[in-house]
Amino acid sequence: MKNYLLGFLGVMAIGLTFALLGVGGASNMFAAMLVINDLPAATTTAPVVVDVPASSTPNIDPVGPATVQTEPDPVVVRVAVLNNLVANQQLTGMHMLGVSVNDNPEGVTFSIRNIGTTIERRVLAECASTQAIKTECRKEFDTREVGNGKYSIIAQATYTDGAIIRSNEILVYINNINQVFTFSSLPNPVRGEIIIRGRIEQASTVEFMHVPTGGAQPIRIGNAVFVSGTSFGEWAYQWDTKQVPDGSYTIIAKVKNAYNNGEPYKAGETTIKIVNTVEQPVVPVDPTASSSEDTLEEVLLEMTAPQEAPAKNASTTTVAGRFETQIELLKKKQEEEKKREEIKQEEKRREEKREEKREEVPLLQTITPPIVQRIQSISTGLQGGGSVTTTREIEVLKKELWGDVNPTSPEVRAKTQYQSAKTFGTTVNASVLQVENIALSTTTAEVIVPIVTTTAEGKAVTVNEKRTVVKEKLRLAGKALPDIYVTIYVYSEVPTIAVVKTDRNGNWVYELDNKLADGDHEAYVTINDKTGKVVAKSARFGFVKTAEAVTVEDFGALGRAEASTEDPVQAAKRQYSLIAFLLIGVGLLAGVFLMLRAPKGQKQDFI
């Protein structure tokens, strides 16, 4: 038995030692051994290479004494003098560099060195002897190739005997004015996809950026495409303005050319106003309106009717056709960039939805406007059975909100500027305003469509064709106060706003004839006054529309647990402690097992 107890105590000692090591700094050391950390990649810095280092050759090499001959030649003092430059001269564009050199050099080089960066550029001159001992050397130099700044210019002559002569040094300033980008006019305001165009000469790339009013950091739109076939240097870019919120923006053109060392500069700007979200009643909700089949037939008739194109002269057609071709090429080149932007926007929308689901929005605001308090009081009275007083209160409320105006009439809807239900209004409980359910149904209808065709003789004839059209309807239903006007908002790519009147029980129904795109959507029912102001609104009703059905979002699962951001060493430490406790448990079980397995009848010695 003593052996069994010794084994039991040994296992327990190992477990307790392991557990004690898990306390304090030792646990961090052992736990860190369980974590594999990725080492950061080594970084390297590329050395800065100077274009041409300054020469260290002395100005004048020693010249030996002239050899005495029968008819001695004249002694020539080798001198190089710059003669086409003046100190502190401003140079722009093309400039002729000139130097006078005594004797006949093997070669002459002009050195143009930037005082600020010490980068040197050398240009080989073209020389011609004008006299027996004098040579004129010149070279036309494009100052735009080196950028603006202060420069030192020196001429250097090299002779066949190895001598090197340097001219006097002249300091000049190169100051080339960058070209300006001229924007073509844009509509104001703009909506949807627009083409940003403009003109500039001698540009290698043009990049458009936008800055919101009040913003400071420019945001990239994309690189423009050069429209070939134009002698004035036209650039264009097709931009989907729906990728940014509505508002005023400054569009900036940043240009690169061969004369500013590859650095982009701000070449021009223009201002635009983007208005994509115009929340107007786009679907009529009038019980006396014509059927949707008639509306569809009229649309198809309009689409298939022959259109008479305006006359164009030959030059206009050629330019327009060429420009349309360039725009098609522009669209293809920007397709990948659009896809990347769409992926970014989709990820941004998903993140916004996740943030929205994480927020806890109270059903009632802390400060409730008086008119909303009256609406809630009327709803409470109706739940209590209603009375003549409650009915009169509804009539007074209707008079205050709408007067003698009928909000469902097309004339009133066309003039009303409806506020956004996402932003404005007080959220009330479901007993006052509620979207109860949304259902999807499809029907088929046959329509007669006139098709214009051409016979073999070249004669245009109209033939009526019967076509089957699949019609999709989205039916929304809910509750509100009885016998009042309510506004339904359906938010998707194009927001839909409709006004209906509830029945005597407060029920309302609305059928959306427009086909809704697949994806996530949301709906609200609100009470608006005659100016379009949102007075009260329901809670958000989210739903997902697919080709087969409509699924309501699961609001019970909104509070998802956040991803763990625990330090990996702390997590390993917790695992370490778990291992220690498991060892202790194993030791206890082993001790009990050994005691039970002891031979019966043997004398047990407990020491």
273 pLDDT above the threshold of 50: yes
- pLDDT-derived band at 594, boundaries 50, 70, 90: low
Q: Are residues 510 and 432 in the same domain?
A: yes
419 pLDDT above the threshold of 60: yes
Q: Are residues 482 and 460 in the same domain?
A: yes
Torsion over CA: 241, 243, 249, 251 (sign): negative
Query: Residue 169: inside a domain, yes or no?
Result: yes
Q: Are residues 254 and 123 in the same domain?
A: no
β-strands 107-114, 485-491: how paired? unpaired
pLDDT at 256: 85
pLDDT at 179: 78
Q: Are residues 221 and 139 in the same domain?
A: no
Q: Are residues 527 and 473 in the same domain?
A: yes
Query: Residue 209: inside a domain, yes or no?
Result: yes
Over residues 201-209, mean pLDDT: 86
pLDDT at 17: 62
Structure tokens at 233: 């240097």
State the DSSP code for 335.
H
Angle of CA points 28, 33, 38, to nearest 5°: 110
Rounded CA separation 5/523 (Å):
73
Query: Which of 584, 344, 531, 549 lies closest to 441 in space, CA to CA?
Result: 549
377 pLDDT above the threshold of 50: yes
Structure tokens at 437: 């359910």
Range with lowest mean pLDDT among 40-49, 308-317, 435-444, 481-490: 40-49
> Does the predicted TM-score (pTM) go above 0.85?
no
Structure tokens at 115: 């005082």
Q: Are residues 205 and 162 in the same domain?
A: no
Picking from 540, 556, 572, the residue at the C-terminal end of a domain is: 556
Hey, is 434 helix, strand or coil? strand
Would residue 109 be called left, alpha or beta, if left means φ above 0 and alpha means ψ between -120 and 50 degrees? beta
pLDDT at 34: 43
Domain enclosing residue 24, as ranges? 2-32
Give the rounded percent of residues in the chain with a pLDDT score beyond 90.
22
Cα distances (Å, whole numbers) of residue 269 to 1, 14, 239, 242, 273: 95, 76, 16, 21, 14
Query: Residue 323: inside a domain, yes or no?
Result: no
Picking from 258, 276, 294, the residue at the C-terminal end of a domain is: 276
What count of other Cβ atoms lies within 10 Å of the Cβ of residue 346?
10
Cα distances (Å, whole numbers) of residue 372 to 415, 523, 526: 25, 20, 12
Hey, is 197 helix, strand or coil? strand
Q: Are residues 149 and 215 in the same domain?
A: no
Report the DSSP beta bridge partners of residue 129: 135
Query: Residue 135: inside a domain, yes or no?
Result: yes
Highest mean pLDDT among 177-186, 222-231, 288-297, 310-319 belongs to 177-186
Query: Residue 285: inside a domain, yes or no?
Result: no
How many distinct structural domains can be found in the chain?
4
Average pLDDT of the chain is 75
Q: Are residues 418 and 549 in the same domain?
A: yes
**CATH assignment of the domain containing 200:** 2.60.40.650
Query: Residue 60: inside a domain, yes or no?
Result: no
Rounded CA separation 304/291 (Å):
21
Highest mean pLDDT among 325-329, 350-354, 403-407, 524-528 belongs to 524-528
Query: Which of 399, 584, 606, 387 lies closest to 484 in space, CA to CA?
Result: 399
Rounded CA separation 201/412 (Å):
52
Structure tokens at 263: 């650095």
Are residues 374 and 397 in contact, defined by beta-carbon separation less than 8 angstroms?
yes
Query: Residue 420: inside a domain, yes or no?
Result: yes
Q: Are residues 446 and 529 in the same domain?
A: yes
Q: Are residues 128 and 238 in the same domain?
A: no
Range with lowest mean pLDDT among 28-32, 51-55, 378-382, 514-518: 51-55
Query: Residue 271: inside a domain, yes or no?
Result: yes
Rounded CA separation 222/253 (Å):
10
Picking from 113, 148, 174, the residue at the C-terminal end of a domain is: 174
Angle of CA points 367, 373, 377, to nearest 5°: 145
Structure tokens at 93: 């564009």
Number of C-alpha atoms within 13 angstroms, CB side, residue 441? 8
Are residues 95 and 174 in contact, defined by beta-carbon separation less than 8 angstroms?
no
Over residues 489-493, mean pLDDT: 84
Rounded to 10°, the helix 2-21/568-596 angle is 170
pLDDT at 156: 94
pLDDT at 42: 37
Torsion over CA: 123, 124, 125, 126 (sign): negative
pLDDT at 469: 75
Q: Are residues 449 and 549 in the same domain?
A: yes
Q: Are residues 418 and 551 in the same domain?
A: yes
pLDDT at 129: 81
What count of other Cβ atoms lies within 10 Å of the Cβ of residue 552?
12
Number of C-alpha atoms within 13 angstroms, CB side, residue 223? 12
Are residues 304 and 450 in contact, defined by beta-carbon separation less than 8 angstroms?
yes
| Residue that has been written with the tokens 């736990």 in this structure | 31
pLDDT at 88: 87
Highest mean pLDDT among 49-53, 418-422, 452-456, 560-564 belongs to 418-422
Of residues 224 and 203, more confidently modeled: 224
47 pLDDT above the threshold of 50: no
